Amino acid sequence: MKSILSFLKPYRLSVVFIVILTFLSSMLQLYLPTLTADIVDVGIVQGDIAYIWKVGGWMVACSLLAILLTIWKSYLSSKTALGFGRDMRRQLFVHVEQFSLEEFQKIGTSSFITRSTNDVKQVQDVTIMILQMMTRAPLMLVGGIILAVSRDAVLSLIFLAALPLLGGFIYLVSRKAIPLFGQLQKKTDRLNLIMRESLSGIRVIRAFNRVDDEKARFQEANTSYKDTGLKVNRLMAYLFPFMLIIMNFTNIGIVWLGANRIDAGEMEVGNLIAFIQYAMMILMALIMLSMSFIMVPRAQASAKRMNEVLNMEPKIKDKEQSVTKLHQPAQSIRFEDVSFYYSNAEKPVVQNITFEAKTGETTAIIGSTGSGKTTLLQLMTRFYEATEGRITLDGVDIRELPQEKLRSQMGYVAQKAVLFSGSIADNVRFGRQDASDEDIWKALRTAQAEEFVLQKDGGIDAEIDQGGSNLSGGQKQRLSIARALVRKPSFYLFDDSFSALDYKTDAKLRASLEAEKEHAALIIVAQRISTVKHSDKIIVLDEGKIAGIGTHEQLIKDNLVYQEIVASQEGQEVDQG
């Protein structure tokens, strides 16, 4: 919690102001019972009407001033807490943006979302409460006790019974509530995860008639969340009635003992009225503190989850003395005996990989599912770091390059086409912000997307729904390819990016990409033989290792793995001998 509260440093002046305003308004409120006692003991008892008007006027002035100070304090508290929450969300977002794919997989997208929204709000709400209540309650508690004792020390002994009883019960409730708050946040993560999976996979769920199963899964998580929430609320339900009972019995005790002391001539009526008001202030301060003690553990659970993200160091970081000079554009990328293991994995995903891709060449990578094709592209872009060996760009180890500089050389098209809400032009310009409309149309033409874009109302200004839900799979892939093309990179990385295209469009796209080879290298991961057969170099992967490198004609003659892939797609009989 301390590290989270460090975000309040830019608001130090506001916090000091809030404390000063709280102190002044509390002093004014503590002064009011004294004025009430004076009105009763002097004005009413002695029949001094002028004194009643005079002191009454002071009471009204003090009350109005206390109200104004409280309003000002509330405004500053809210402004400070909201700015504090904004800064935390921004820091979480900026920090998460630096993570490699490994860190994302470790915590999970839905949990990141919960931590940057729900958890931040929990801490933000407690910050408002601390600034407004936890600064005021101790002042009212201590000030009330001092003034109550000054009115009647004997009558104050009643607090020796009430306060420990109240404090002990608050402690017991807090002790049971703290673990439940942590569980509640985890169950919020679970609900978000199920909701996200169900909404993103709605077509698959309906296609396999699993709607009822998903409803049951959500209901189970929802019920679990409800049960934990009920346990928390049940504890709260016990707490506040118990507090009211203590308050009421304390009042009864004060009135009974006070009446006896007035009857004995040891206390005045005005002092008893003031004492009752101070007693209520003391008990209300304790109630405010108890609410804080209940809310703070929940915020601590949220702060712990946020700290887990903020303290997580990205495994892939730029070196302080990074290489900044590099050919523009770069000419070649080379793997030198590269192996890669996922965290806690016993076997490597790829092992002893060595090859080179150069400008002017098309390098294709083919292999069975799980052979490590996508992993090679993710190693090139440093989404993951090679465990052994090295990858060089024009002879420079890519670990020596700033990540931004490295990726500026790449035009990456992911296996799953990702589009953002906005216009077609906005999505293509994601590759290069200063791209003109002419550049966009040229990229669309090369990506074989011009025809369907022209058919849309508004052309490149046509809106794309979230996730590209108003486009077909092939259209999304072609727009993703256009986004890479408009960037004019040194290396085009196509991760099975033609899979949703028909054979005719696939062939036309590959033909149009030939022109890009003049200034770039094409690296294509594919499943189809027709997509890779005309490549200058084909790398055949088998169980994470290179089974062969060559042209289609060379591999079809002497590479068994490649022959099997060709046979499975073209129905050719391959001589196994």
Contact 569, 368 (CB under 8 A): no
Q: Residue 145: pLDDT band by 50, 70, 90 thresholds?
A: confident
Please give the pLDDT value at position 574.
39
DSSP string of 215-265? HHHHHHHHHHHHHHHHHHHHHHHHHHHHHHHHHHHHHHHHHHHHHHHHHTT
pLDDT value for 572: 42
Q: Is the pLDDT higher at 551 or at 177? A: 551
Last residue of a domain, one of 253, 286, 310: 310
- Written as six digits, the tokens of 140 are 């009212």
pTM to 2 decimals?
A: 0.69
For the cut 60, the answer to whether the pLDDT of residue 575 exceeds it is no
Residue 226 has pLDDT above 80, yes or no: yes
pLDDT band at residue 573 under the 50/70/90 scheme: very low
Integer Cα distance of 83 and 78 in angstroms: 8
Assess whether 346 and 263 both reside in one domain.
no
326-333: average pLDDT = 78
Residue 323's pLDDT is what?
A: 64
The answer as to whether 385 is a domain residue is: yes
Lowest mean pLDDT among 89-98, 105-114, 411-420: 105-114
Mark whether 362 and 279 lie in a shared domain: no
Checking if the pLDDT of 307 tops 90, the result is no
Q: Which CATH number covers residue 302?
A: 1.20.1560.10
User: 3-class DSSP state for residue 413?
Assistant: strand
Does 372 lie in the same domain as 260?
no
Residue 302 lies in a domain: yes
Residue 163 and residue 101 share a domain = yes
CA distance 373 to 450: 30
The mean pLDDT of 69-78, rounded to a whole number, is 91
Q: Say yes or no: 356 and 260 in one domain.
A: no
* pLDDT given for residue 493 in this prediction: 93
Q: Using 50, 70 and 90 to split pLDDT, how confident is the model at 210? A: confident
Residue 510: inside a domain: no
Same domain, 534 and 447: no
pLDDT band at 538 (very low <50, low <70, confident <90, very high): very high
Tell whether the model's pLDDT for residue 1 goes beyond 70: no
For residue 389, pLDDT over 90 is answered with yes
d(CA 63, CA 29): 7
Q: What is the pLDDT of residue 65?
A: 94
**Average pLDDT score, the chain:** 85
Indicate whether 333 and 387 sit together in one domain: yes
- The residue segments making up the domain with residue 479 are 417-488
Asked whether residue 201 is assigned to any structural domain, the reply reads yes
pLDDT at 321: 67
CA distance 340 to 352: 9
489-503 average pLDDT score: 86
pLDDT at 413 over 70: yes
Cis peptide bond upstream of 348, omega within 30 = no
How many whole angstroms separate alpha carbon 572 and alpha carbon 78?
73
Q: Which of 275, 310, 345 is the last residue of a domain?
A: 310
**Do both 365 and 442 map to the same domain?**
no
Task: Give dist(CA 374, CA 182) in Å, integer.
Answer: 38
Res. 182: pLDDT tops 80: no
Give the integer Cα–Cα distance in Å for 196 and 194: 5
Tokens of 439: 């550049």
Q: What angle do CA 341, 537, 516 make, to 5 degrees?
A: 100
Number of independent structural domains in the chain: 3
The predicted pLDDT at position 319 comes to 79
**506 is a domain residue:** no
Which H/E stretch holds residue 391? strand 388-393
For 196-214, what is the mean pLDDT? 82
Structure tokens at 77: 């508290």
Tell me whether residue 102 is in a domain.
yes
* Residue range 42-55: mean pLDDT, rounded: 85
Is residue 508 domain-resident? no
Among 105-119, 321-335, 406-420, 500-514, which stretch is predicted with the lowest mean pLDDT?
Answer: 321-335
Residue 577 is predicted with a pLDDT of 35
Judge whether 507 lies within some domain: no
Sign of the torsion formed by the C-alpha atoms of 512, 513, 514 and 520 = positive
pLDDT at 327: 64
In terms of Cβ atoms closer than 10 Å to its own Cβ (0-12, 13-18, 19+), residue 212 is exposed
Q: Identify the CATH number of the domain in which residue 437 sits.
A: 3.40.50.300
Whether the CB-CB separation of 392 and 334 falls below 8 Å is answered with: yes
481 with 494, same domain?
A: no
Q: What 3-state DSSP class applies to 212?
A: helix
Decide if 246 contacts 213 (C-beta within 8 A).
no
Average pLDDT over residues 124-152: 84
Q: Are residues 534 and 480 in the same domain?
A: no
Residue 576, pLDDT above cutoff 50: no
Q: Which amino acid is at 135?
A: T
Any idea which of 14-23, 174-183, 470-479 has the lowest mean pLDDT? 174-183
266: its two tokens: 């040891």
pLDDT, tens digit, for every residue of 417-458? Answer: 888 888 989 999 998 888 898 999 999 999 888 888 898 888
Query: Both tokens of residue 97?
Result: 């943006």
The mean pLDDT of 473-492, rounded to a whole number, is: 90
* Same domain as 521, residue 457: no
User: And the tokens for 510?
Assistant: 């590959």
Question: Which of 284, 310, 336 is the last residue before a domain boundary?
Answer: 310
Lowest mean pLDDT among 88-97, 297-306, 366-375: 297-306
pLDDT in tens, 243-292: 888 888 888 888 898 888 888 888 888 888 888 888 888 888 887 877 77
> Do 400 and 421 fall within a single domain?
no
> Quick one: CA dihedral 516, 517, 521, 526, positive or negative?
positive
Q: Are 432 and 488 in contact (CB under 8 A)?
A: yes
